[in-house]
Amino acid sequence: MRKKIILASHGHFASGILSSLRLICGENKSIEALDCYVTKDFDLQKVVEHLMLDSKNSEIIVITDIFGGSVNNEFLKYIEQHNFYLIAGLNLPFLIELSTKLSTLDSVEVLIRSALEESKHSIQFCNDTFNKKVSEEEF
Protein backbone atom coordinates (compact mmCIF):
# COMPACT_ATOMS: atom_id res chain seq x y z
CA MET A 1 0.00 0.00 0.00
CA ARG A 2 1.26 3.46 -0.91
CA LYS A 3 2.39 5.65 1.99
CA LYS A 4 1.74 9.38 1.98
CA ILE A 5 2.85 12.11 4.40
CA ILE A 6 1.01 15.40 4.72
CA LEU A 7 2.62 18.23 6.65
CA ALA A 8 -0.06 20.65 7.83
CA SER A 9 0.42 23.94 9.63
CA HIS A 10 -0.84 27.41 10.34
CA GLY A 11 0.85 29.74 7.85
CA HIS A 12 3.80 28.68 5.68
CA PHE A 13 5.52 26.46 8.24
CA ALA A 14 4.59 23.22 6.43
CA SER A 15 6.01 24.28 3.05
CA GLY A 16 9.04 25.82 4.76
CA ILE A 17 9.95 22.65 6.61
CA LEU A 18 9.30 20.60 3.46
CA SER A 19 11.76 22.86 1.65
CA SER A 20 14.36 22.16 4.36
CA LEU A 21 13.67 18.43 4.18
CA ARG A 22 14.17 18.42 0.41
CA LEU A 23 17.44 20.32 0.79
CA ILE A 24 18.74 17.72 3.26
CA CYS A 25 17.20 14.48 1.96
CA GLY A 26 16.23 15.18 -1.64
CA GLU A 27 12.85 15.12 -3.35
CA ASN A 28 10.20 12.74 -2.09
CA LYS A 29 6.94 12.73 -4.02
CA SER A 30 5.04 11.02 -1.19
CA ILE A 31 5.37 14.10 1.05
CA GLU A 32 3.28 17.22 0.57
CA ALA A 33 2.65 20.43 2.50
CA LEU A 34 -0.61 22.04 3.48
CA ASP A 35 -0.20 25.69 4.45
CA CYS A 36 -3.41 26.75 6.18
CA TYR A 37 -4.98 30.19 6.46
CA VAL A 38 -2.58 31.87 4.04
CA THR A 39 -5.44 33.14 1.88
CA LYS A 40 -8.56 34.98 2.93
CA ASP A 41 -10.94 32.39 1.46
CA PHE A 42 -9.19 29.30 2.89
CA ASP A 43 -11.66 26.61 4.02
CA LEU A 44 -9.85 24.09 6.21
CA GLN A 45 -12.74 21.63 6.36
CA LYS A 46 -13.08 21.43 2.56
CA VAL A 47 -9.34 21.14 1.96
CA VAL A 48 -8.91 18.37 4.53
CA GLU A 49 -11.96 16.52 3.23
CA HIS A 50 -10.53 16.66 -0.31
CA LEU A 51 -7.10 15.46 0.87
CA MET A 52 -8.63 12.56 2.72
CA LEU A 53 -10.70 11.50 -0.31
CA ASP A 54 -7.62 11.67 -2.54
CA SER A 55 -5.68 9.52 -0.06
CA LYS A 56 -8.34 6.85 0.32
CA ASN A 57 -6.15 4.01 -0.99
CA SER A 58 -3.00 5.02 0.92
CA GLU A 59 -1.57 4.79 4.36
CA ILE A 60 -1.66 8.43 5.31
CA ILE A 61 0.50 10.10 7.93
CA VAL A 62 -0.48 13.65 8.83
CA ILE A 63 1.91 15.73 10.89
CA THR A 64 0.51 18.99 12.24
CA ASP A 65 2.23 21.88 13.95
CA ILE A 66 0.24 22.18 17.19
CA PHE A 67 -1.71 19.63 19.20
CA GLY A 68 -5.18 21.04 19.81
CA GLY A 69 -4.85 23.71 17.12
CA SER A 70 -7.51 24.07 14.46
CA VAL A 71 -5.45 22.21 11.84
CA ASN A 72 -4.84 19.26 14.15
CA ASN A 73 -8.45 19.26 15.31
CA GLU A 74 -9.76 19.07 11.74
CA PHE A 75 -7.67 15.98 11.05
CA LEU A 76 -8.72 14.46 14.39
CA LYS A 77 -12.12 13.84 12.79
CA TYR A 78 -10.46 11.04 10.80
CA ILE A 79 -8.57 9.43 13.70
CA GLU A 80 -10.60 6.22 13.59
CA GLN A 81 -10.14 5.77 9.84
CA HIS A 82 -8.12 2.69 8.87
CA ASN A 83 -4.53 3.42 7.78
CA PHE A 84 -4.62 7.00 9.13
CA TYR A 85 -1.97 8.26 11.53
CA LEU A 86 -1.93 11.73 13.11
CA ILE A 87 1.07 13.27 14.84
CA ALA A 88 1.27 16.75 16.38
CA GLY A 89 4.50 18.67 16.90
CA LEU A 90 6.01 18.93 13.43
CA ASN A 91 9.78 19.32 13.56
CA LEU A 92 12.66 18.66 11.18
CA PRO A 93 14.54 15.92 13.12
CA PHE A 94 11.36 13.84 13.39
CA LEU A 95 10.52 14.42 9.74
CA ILE A 96 14.01 13.38 8.59
CA GLU A 97 13.87 10.23 10.70
CA LEU A 98 10.40 9.33 9.45
CA SER A 99 10.91 10.09 5.77
CA THR A 100 14.27 8.35 5.42
CA LYS A 101 12.87 5.10 6.81
CA LEU A 102 9.41 5.27 5.29
CA SER A 103 10.06 2.69 2.57
CA THR A 104 12.06 0.30 4.76
CA LEU A 105 9.51 -0.70 7.40
CA ASP A 106 6.27 -2.57 6.97
CA SER A 107 4.53 -1.15 10.03
CA VAL A 108 3.83 2.57 9.87
CA GLU A 109 2.92 2.58 13.54
CA VAL A 110 6.30 1.06 14.52
CA LEU A 111 8.07 3.56 12.27
CA ILE A 112 6.26 6.52 13.84
CA ARG A 113 7.03 5.38 17.38
CA SER A 114 10.68 4.80 16.51
CA ALA A 115 11.05 8.17 14.76
CA LEU A 116 9.43 9.95 17.72
CA GLU A 117 11.83 8.29 20.14
CA GLU A 118 14.92 8.98 18.02
CA SER A 119 14.03 12.63 17.36
CA LYS A 120 13.63 13.38 21.07
CA HIS A 121 17.42 13.26 21.41
CA SER A 122 17.88 16.12 18.96
CA ILE A 123 16.11 18.66 21.18
CA GLN A 124 18.74 19.91 23.56
CA PHE A 125 19.76 22.94 25.55
CA CYS A 126 23.19 23.25 23.92
CA ASN A 127 24.66 25.28 26.80
CA ASP A 128 24.09 22.35 29.16
CA THR A 129 25.34 19.81 26.62
CA PHE A 130 28.49 21.83 25.96
CA ASN A 131 29.13 22.55 29.65
CA LYS A 132 28.70 18.86 30.53
CA LYS A 133 31.19 17.88 27.83
CA VAL A 134 33.71 20.49 29.04
CA SER A 135 33.29 19.29 32.67
CA GLU A 136 33.85 15.66 31.66
CA GLU A 137 37.01 16.58 29.73
CA GLU A 138 38.48 18.34 32.79
CA PHE A 139 38.71 15.08 34.75
pLDDT tens for 76-118 read 999 999 999 999 999 999 999 999 988 777 788 999 999 999 9
Q: Tell me if 59 sits within 8 A of 1, measured CB to CB.
A: yes
Q: Taking 70 as the threshold, does the pLDDT of residue 139 lie above it?
A: no
Q: Which tens digit of pLDDT belongs to each residue from 58-78? A: 899 999 999 999 999 999 999
Q: Taking 80 as the threshold, does the pLDDT of residue 45 lie above it?
A: yes
Number of domains in the chain: 1
Q: What is the mean pLDDT of residues 116-129?
A: 89
Structural domain of 49: 2-138
Q: Which of 66, 10, 56 is nearest to 33 (CA)?
A: 10
Domain CATH number, residue 62: 3.40.50.510
CA dihedral 44, 50, 55, 56 (to 10 degrees): 120
Q: Which of 71, 49, 52 is nearest to 61 (CA)?
A: 52
Q: Taking 90 as the threshold, does the pLDDT of residue 56 lie above it?
A: no
